[in-house]
Amino acid sequence: MSNPFRIHGVVKRPFFADREDEVARIATRLQEPAAKMLVYGERRMGKTSAIAVAVDQVHAAGGAAIVADLSTASTVADMTNRVLGAAGQTLGRKWSDVATELVRSVGVRLSMSTDPTTGAVWPSLDIGYRQAPLDEQQQTFGRVLDTLNAMAERRKRVLGLVLDEFQEIHRFGGEQAEWHLRGTIQHHEHVAYILAGSRPRLIRRMLAKGRAFYGILDKMEFGPIEPGYLAAWLEERMEECGVRCDKVGQECIQISGPRTRDVVQLARKTFDLTAGAGRADAESVRLAFEELVDEEDGPIRSWWDDLTPAQQNIIRAVAVTTAGITTAETRKRFSLLTSSAVTQAIRKFREDGDLTRGGPSGYVLDSPVVRGWVISKALPDLGMRLPSTYRPDDPYS
């Protein structure tokens, strides 16, 4: 039997669990003229997957919606290319002449690419355009969005446009880029925008009073799947594939929660280890977790080696302490520096995505596998031995 769980890329049914409310809301918004909605939450929660399922629903109902993934962009030109690519590849099949219209309206030189498998044709900016001045790149980005709005209007349709990881615009132009995006989208009556993003801290700042997105977006905070539902779904999937489960779902969430991907990754490994025997219990999940920790040893160790001793001590503390991270007690126990130095180091860890808010100490390691690694490999340095599955913010205690 092949594994019933997937952990790479976007997942759709049957690999996709629940999210009925979120998917329904996103799908509805994607077809509402002039809608502007923000979908935000920590990474690995399942936003992109829920959006993909919603976009499929829109298509199945005869509508038009596209997703531009801005997560890897290094310039505004790259973002424009993502939008052009999504429009050409997805819309090209539903609306005729999409590529021609874009080329005519955008006003800078575009080259055509063809997808060898689907035959879709889409335009992209000439490669040298990435070096154009920032304001020029922004104007072109705006013009592409204007063109999509005009195309939808002419066809008397609504175009759903998802800008996934939209907060990255901030990297290329700071607040000014935010205002530019706001100025562009706010007058579009024929596009429904979903702005999605995985950096809640940055996004909250973008929404604050006096900032560009204040008051213009409906908000949808994307949290964890209800644990009881997810636990039952995990076990159902495993049982369908021949593995009898005893408290497996609950244990996966207990060790890995609350990010959907982390939980599914552990369930996936548990399935691999138990498919032969045809039965799994909480102990199998703990063994699977240890295996994940071992498998990730290379990348985690090189991250660890690049930290300063002071930073390493902070990470050790966050991994296990149940007292506040800057309290005298914690600082003494883990040889931390002054509380202001600790606060500053934590700010950097949060920016890098290594730590997030939560737990009794105020912070948790973003990845449960990294936490397991720190506990099993770096706490023995202090003579401390705890099971790798230990978590200071135990959700069941």
CA distance 273 to 267: 10
Nearer to Mg ion, 38 or 345 (CB): 38
CA distance 247 to 7: 21
Interface with ligand ADP, residue 237, by CB under 6 A: no
Of 29-37, 45-53, 283-291, 369-377, the window that binds ligand ADP (rule: CB under 6 A) is 45-53
Q: How far is the CB of 224 from ligand ADP (least distance, A)?
A: 10
**Residue corresponding to tokens 């997030």:** 356
From the list 4, 26, 46, 271, which residue makes contact with ligand ADP (rule: CB under 6 A)?
Answer: 46
CA distance 359 to 222: 19
Strands 121-125 and 110-114: antiparallel
From the list 29, 36, 43, 170, which residue makes contact with ligand ADP (rule: CB under 6 A)?
Answer: 43
Nearer to ligand ADP, 64 or 264 (CB): 264
CA distance 369 to 328: 28
Q: How far is the CB of 92 from ligand ADP (least distance, A)?
A: 25
**Stretch 1-20: interaction string toward ligand ADP, x if CB under 6 A:** -----xxxxxx---xxxxx-
* Binders of ligand ADP in range 178-217 (CB under 6 A): 198
Residues contacting ligand ADP: total by CB under 6 A: 22
CA distance 272 to 267: 9
CA distance 320 to 330: 10
| Rg of the chain in Å (alpha carbons) | 23
E strands, 218-285, where? Answer: 218-221, 244-246, 279-281
CB 65 within 8 A of CB 58: yes
Nearer to Mg ion, 48 or 184 (CB): 48
Q: How far is the CB of 10 from ligand ADP (least distance, A)?
A: 6
Dihedrals phi, psi of 82, to nearest 5 degrees: -65, -40
Nearer to ligand ADP, 188 or 261 (CB): 261
Interface with ligand ADP, residue 264, by CB under 6 A: yes
Tokens at 131, concatenated: 């070096």
Interface with ligand ADP, residue 241, by CB under 6 A: no
Sites of contact with Mg ion (CB under 5 A): 48
Residue 26, CA distances (Å) to 21, 64, 193 in order: 9, 13, 10
Of 38-46, 62-70, 73-81, 111-119, the window that binds ligand ADP (rule: CB under 6 A) is 38-46
Of 39-47, 140-148, 291-299, 360-368, the window that binds ligand ADP (rule: CB under 6 A) is 39-47
Nearer to ligand ADP, 71 or 113 (CB): 71
CB 169 within 8 A of CB 80: no
87 makes contact, choosing from Mg ion, ligand ADP, none, with CB < 5 to 8 Å by partner type, with none
Q: How far is the CB of 131 from ligand ADP (least distance, A)?
A: 31
Q: What is the largest CA-CA distance in the chain?
A: 70
Nearer to ligand ADP, 31 or 49 (CB): 49
Q: How far is the CB of 145 from Mg ion (least distance, A)?
A: 21
Residue nearest to ligand ADP according to CB distances in the complex: 46
Nearer to Mg ion, 48 or 256 (CB): 48
Which of left, alpha, beta for 208 (phi over 0: left; psi -120 to 50: alpha)? beta
- Assign 202 to helix, strand or coil: helix
Residue 212, CA distances (Å) to 21, 78, 215, 396 in order: 28, 22, 9, 41
**Residue corresponding to tokens 């999605």:** 196
Q: How far is the CB of 217 from ligand ADP (least distance, A)?
A: 18
CB 194 within 8 A of CB 39: yes
6 makes contact, choosing from ligand ADP, Mg ion, none, with CB < 5 to 8 Å by partner type, with ligand ADP
**Residue corresponding to tokens 């901030």:** 170
CA distance 266 to 3: 12
16 makes contact, choosing from ligand ADP, Mg ion, none, with CB < 5 to 8 Å by partner type, with ligand ADP
Q: How far is the CB of 344 from ligand ADP (least distance, A)?
A: 28
Nearer to ligand ADP, 86 or 110 (CB): 86
Interface with ligand ADP, residue 44, by CB under 6 A: yes
Nearer to ligand ADP, 66 or 320 (CB): 66
Task: Give the footprint of ligand ADP on this chain (CB under 6 A).
Answer: 6-11, 15-19, 43-49, 198, 260-261, 264
